[in-house]
Structure 1
Amino acid sequence: MKQYNLIIVFVAFSLSIFGQRRDENNVIKTDTISSSKNYQLIAIPIAFYTPETEFGFGGGGQLFLLNEKNRYKNRLSNILFSGIYTLNEQLMIEITPQIYLGSGDYFIDAHYLLEVYPNLFWGIGNNTPDENEEVYNQTTHAFNIAFLKRLPSNLNFGFQFNFKNHEVTEVQENGILASGDVLGSRRTVIAGLGAVFNYDTRDNTGSPNKGFYYQAKAQFSSELMGSTQGFNKFILDLREYLPIGKRSLLAFQLYSENNFGDVPFQALASYGGGNRARGYFFGRFRDKNMYVSQVEYRWRFKPRWTLNTFALAGEVAERPEDFFSIKNIKPSFGLGARFKIFKDKDTWLRFDYGSGIDGNSGIYFGINEAF
């Protein structure tokens, strides 16, 4: 894959910002436009460019509920919403409520997505050739909601409902998806229940300086609940942040995903992207099983400036026992820089360059750390 994944986000910062968080589009909140004792509304102007989308623009906001606060981690309930349109006629609308109840003893985490999005597909497997690349158009409605209970000592456990409706509206003539042999090549509905468990001791979520984050998810999609296929998904995400002296940090992540049953291609484990496998297009390789292991060294040479270097390796496979063949591993190496936007808030601009094998590479510009 010889295209670069270049994302540029322009944001007009205000002098007074109540809080920030990171989302998949690497957007931060800005410009307080309404405030009272009970809420604060912050506007989000958005603009970016990628080779896949060309110029994209939009906006949104974040509503902070000032009376609904997690007293354990000093985090506020909020509702994030955004809308983005691109010159390639792609549309993305997202709404993400995160609500704390009982002063943080209970947590509701929900997400709605409407996406009209042309994408790229190379087939299924760990060694799909570049010449397989084809474009397909897809419209997605997705909704999930999780209800978690805080347990003692930074533990959280809860249940989740997932729903996704993928409508493939256009495929490339004589392409892989046009054959109809790929599960999900016409329409896929994913619906089911799941369980979530996490252990979180990080000092902050956007750019941790120390602590641990361990998460395990189990998701069960059933035809009894409306799914077009029945399958199960298990995700394990393990992260550690180890300070080295006063200015340096080593960050580690091990991510694994395993799917069992009749899995449509939209739900397969996807290798690549700006967070888990920098240097590869997101979804460049897809299959039922995947692991990614990455390590990053971060050196804060000035109070508001950090340099980093990272290395990662991983792969996808139909069966876990096919992992760890040297010829199949997909490594990547890279470096980058960070700039702290506000002196008193731990929010950072991030620039990374990642280089994989076989011409794969990527440039990433966004907010906060990759993991």
Structure 2
Amino acid sequence: MTKKYGLALSLLFSLNTFANLSVSNPQDDTSQASWVDNILENLGADGGFDNTKAIDFSVLPGPFYNPEMSLGVGISAIGLYQIDEQDTVSQTSSLVINGFASVNGSVGVVIDNRSFLKEDQWRVYVDAEIADAPDVYYGIGYQQNRQDDNRVNFDHRQLSLRPMLLKRVSESAFIGAGFDLSYAKASDIDDGESLVDSSLLDDSSSAVGVSFQANFDTRDVVRNPYEGRLLQLDLGLYHPSIGSSDNFQTLSFNYSEYLQLGPRDSLLAWQFKSRFTYGDTPWHMLSTVGGGSALRGYTTGRYRDKQMVMSQAEYRWDLPGRHGMVFWLGAGAIAPQLSLFSSDEILPNVGLGYRFEVKSRVNLRLDMGFGDGESGFYFNVDEAF
């Protein structure tokens, strides 16, 4: 076992052990259960939701390790709220703020807001990110991306804002519109001995576009479904006339389903996802796999091209108390155009993770993912899909 794998798994085991103390039998070890529960209560991680507060927050720190940012610490602020106390139909709204810093100087904040209004007739989703962190570029396309010697290291400064307003049009269907503002700048570009052309990283890029979404959503809870399905289609249109550096389009499709299977709230979840781009797509808006949600274990940004398809299936095993384990299998592929996807260029994926419920239907997750010659350890809030 490599040092990297050992570190990730030891952190995973340590948190699992820590969490188990909080649900130990008081008759067996009252003092242990008491002080751990007090810590969690003070942090707001009580597993419930206090609707008497404007926003019921939990704030939790946690370690992470991945190839891009090395060892770091993340802090997650998880807030639940109700916009209208008289509204008994809408789901509980949520605000998640994730901050991170690592030993190699990476810093960033990611915001994820989901608001449900007017008896769930309207939904407002806002995603935002600001970060300055190391990144990698291996060129474009599977053949270049799979060559370890093609690695180009650089510092990636990014800013993004993506609001979306959705209107219910039938019992389970929504349509909506929003905009996407994504700015990226590469600096300290280190080609090393790489033979790939990294000149496209030299100029900063602003992707400004309007976005449209249509979905069919029967999930019981958007943030952590126990049952139901989602079929979602997203279209993005980017053009210099509205401030974009380049003229291009994006088309994404997501099908996810959740089936109760096993003890308590255990379930089988699976997903098929695709993303296609057309036109003069800038490097930071190409389709990718990897990171904390799409084929966990692959380095974010290593595999990128205009088109992407992927699928993953996950068993979410609900353990007694507020604990759970997850096991998944997945696969994906990238290509310059639809006709060039190849079965010889599939990227396999497997992994396992631990879950701890910090708020009602909001999980803290630690995942260890393995890809083709790569791995990653992730500290996040909510499920990968």
- Pairwise TM-score range, normalised by the shorter structure: 0.7 to 0.9
Q: CA deviation at 1:54?
A: 4.1
Residue 102 (1) aligns with residue 124 (2): no
- Residue 224 of structure 1 aligns to a residue whose secondary structure is helix
| Counterpart residue number, 1:121 | 137
Residue 249 (1) aligns with residue 271 (2): no
Q: CA deviation at 1:106?
A: 1.8
Contact 1:117 1:139 in 2 (8 A): yes
TM-score with structure 1 length normalisation?
0.81
Contact 1:163 1:189 in 2 (8 A): yes
| Counterpart residue number, 1:218 | 235
| Counterpart residue number, 1:312 | 330
What are the equivalent positions in structure 2 for 1:7-18 lying under 5 Å apart?
Answer: 13-14=40-41
Aligned counterparts of 1:19 and 1:200: Cα–Cα separation in 2: 29
| Counterpart residue number, 2:377 | 363
Q: Deviations over 1:123-153 (max 9, x none)?
A: 1111320111221012112122111112221
Residue 230 (1) aligns with residue 247 (2): yes
Aligned counterparts of 1:158 and 1:149: Cα–Cα separation in 2: 6
Contact 1:83 1:91 in 2 (8 A): yes
| Counterpart residue number, 2:64 | 49
| Counterpart residue number, 2:277 | 259
Q: CA deviation at 1:254?
A: 0.1
Aligned counterparts of 1:88 and 1:38: Cα–Cα separation in 2: 38
Contact 2:123 2:165 in 1 (8 A): yes
Q: Percent identity?
A: 26
Aligned counterparts of 1:312 and 1:37: Cα–Cα separation in 2: 42
The structure-2 alpha-carbon separation of the partners of 1:356 and 1:114, relative to structure 1 and needing over 3 Å to count, comes to closer
Alignment RMSD: 3.5
| Counterpart residue number, 2:101 | 85
* Selected match of 1:153 from 171, 178, 182: 171
Q: Partner amino acid for 1:49?
A: F
- Residue 327 of structure 1 aligns to a residue whose secondary structure is helix
TM-score with structure 2 length normalisation?
0.78
- Residue 104 of structure 1 aligns to a residue whose secondary structure is coil
What are the equivalent positions in structure 2 for 1:32-71 lying under 5 Å apart?
Answer: 39-40=54-55, 42=57, 44-51=59-66, 52-57=68-73, 59=75, 61=77, 65-68=81-84, 71=88
Q: CA deviation at 1:361?
A: 2.5
Q: Deviations over 1:238-275 (max 9, x none)?
A: 00112335555322100000000011111011111232
Q: CA deviation at 1:199?
A: 1.9
Paired residues, what number? 352
Aligned counterparts of 1:202 and 1:17: Cα–Cα separation in 2: 26
Aligned counterparts of 1:164 and 1:361: Cα–Cα separation in 2: 27
* Selected match of 1:270 from 282, 288, 306: 288
- Residue 149 of structure 2 aligns to a residue whose secondary structure is helix
The structure-2 alpha-carbon separation of the partners of 1:230 and 1:298, relative to structure 1 and needing over 3 Å to count, comes to same
Q: Deviations over 1:148-206 (max 9, x none)?
A: 11222122210011111112122114676995543x54211100101011222222234
Aligned counterparts of 1:171 and 1:15: Cα–Cα separation in 2: 44
Q: CA deviation at 1:211?
A: 0.8
Q: CA deviation at 1:336?
A: 3.9
- Residue 55 of structure 2 aligns to a residue whose secondary structure is strand
Which residues of structure 1 form unaligned runs of 5+?
21-29
Q: CA deviation at 1:99?
A: 3.6
Contact 2:180 2:208 in 1 (8 A): yes
Question: Which structure shows the higher strand fraction?
Answer: 1
Which residues of structure 2 form unaligned runs of 5+?
20-38
| Counterpart residue number, 1:327 | 344
Contact 2:238 2:247 in 1 (8 A): yes
Q: CA deviation at 1:210?
A: 1.4
Q: CA deviation at 1:82?
A: 4.9
Q: CA deviation at 1:305?
A: 4.8
